[in-house]
Amino acid sequence: MDFELGKKILKNISSIVVGKDDALELLLVALLADGHVLLEDVPGVGKTLITKCLAKSIEGSFKRIQFTPDLLPADITGFNVYDQKSGQFKFQSGPVLTNILLADEINRAIPRTQSSLLESMEERQVTIDGKTYPLPIPFFVMATQNPIELEGTFPLPEAQLDRFLLKISLGYPNKGEEVAILERFQRGDPLTMLEPVADPQQIIRMQQLREEIKVSAPVREYIADLVVATRDNEGLRFGSSPRGSLGLMRAAQGLAALRGRKYVLPDDVKRMVCPVLSHRIILNEEGKLRGELPEHVLEDIILRIPVPA
């Protein structure tokens, strides 16, 4: 199967990135599902490195945007400039026209700038002065948020968080992984030696094949039961929208594909519940005061919903 290429990409990235196998698998799942990822974690745990490794592994173009309060929508999408020689306006493309985009600290930009990127993520195009420019295919955004520095930030509204297929956290490495990082990076940056193992056309083919992964009627009902349960949960103020159901199905298909299957198992769905739904639900005030997390509520829902045979 062409999906063996996914394992090859994972192995290639793991040759540089230490001890983040689960997060890397989720990253590939999002890419296969043609979605985007929100990565919430402290600085210095490898967010930029992982994105660069992914771009080099698939031989795709890579751009990085550092979001700041003075960043404007045109700084992302591009703008028209007047060419004195030709006497005409020419389009100067912005960094969003790339295969892999790292939106670093997206919550530091003003809402207007945030929305310009999220519109590109959803529509896969940018419109400048009435003219539309399609984005490259594949187009994959990994946005980061720093959960500890909240001063001077503009938190993403829930409606915009919903546009990200997955929310992932890397976490700190353990001691053994820390030692391996020191050893691997002792003599320069190994990223410069990383070779591509795929190309963008192969990724597009994998995305098309992912759509053909079978989702049986009982599994579809299981997905619906899980999502509907978030809307009736007493610990939640708002549950997931139908976009969450679609995202959960696509993510489960991507995971099944990476694991070499042509069909989705209930275990694939259970594995993807928290990454897909945790940022799509809102705790009520009592839950927040008790220090509960969305993941806790979702884990309880998983335990209560019967798994199809």
The answer on 288 and 147 residing in a single domain is no
Q: In what order do the strands lie in the sheet with 166-168?
A: 62-66, 100-104, 140-145, 37-40, 166-168
The answer on 162 and 31 residing in a single domain is yes
The answer on 241 and 142 residing in a single domain is no
The answer on 54 and 137 residing in a single domain is yes
| For residue 71, pLDDT beyond 80 | yes
The per-residue pLDDT of the chain, averaged, comes to 89
The answer on 133 and 65 residing in a single domain is yes
Average pLDDT, integer, range 214-220:
96
For 21-70, write each residue's pLDDT tens digit.
Answer: 899 999 999 999 999 999 988 878 888 899 999 999 999 999 999 998 89
The predicted structure's pLDDT at residue 149: 65
In angstroms, the CA 255 to CA 270 distance is 11
Residue 224 in any domain: the answer is yes
User: What's the pTM?
Assistant: 0.90
Peptide bond into 136 cis (omega under 30): no
Q: What's the domain count of the chain?
A: 2
The answer on 124 and 269 residing in a single domain is no
* Residue 165 three-state SS: coil
In angstroms, the CA 103 to CA 160 distance is 14
Min mean pLDDT across 5-14, 67-76, 144-153, 293-302 is at 144-153
Residue 16 in any domain: the answer is yes
Residue 11 in any domain: the answer is yes
The answer on 168 and 51 residing in a single domain is yes
The answer on 246 and 132 residing in a single domain is no
Does 116 or 150 have the greater pLDDT score?
A: 116
Locate 32 and state its tokens: 């296969």
Compute the residue count for the chain: 309
The answer on 280 and 179 residing in a single domain is no
Residue 162 in any domain: the answer is yes
Can you give the CATH number for the domain in which 39 is found? Answer: 3.40.50.300
The predicted structure's pLDDT at residue 264: 96
The answer on 154 and 16 residing in a single domain is yes
Can you give the CATH number for the domain in which 272 is found? Answer: 1.10.8.80
| For residue 150, pLDDT beyond 70 | no
The predicted structure's pLDDT at residue 273: 96
Residues of the domain holding 271: 213-304
In angstroms, the CA 128 to CA 114 distance is 17
The predicted structure's pLDDT at residue 91: 80
In angstroms, the CA 54 to CA 222 distance is 32
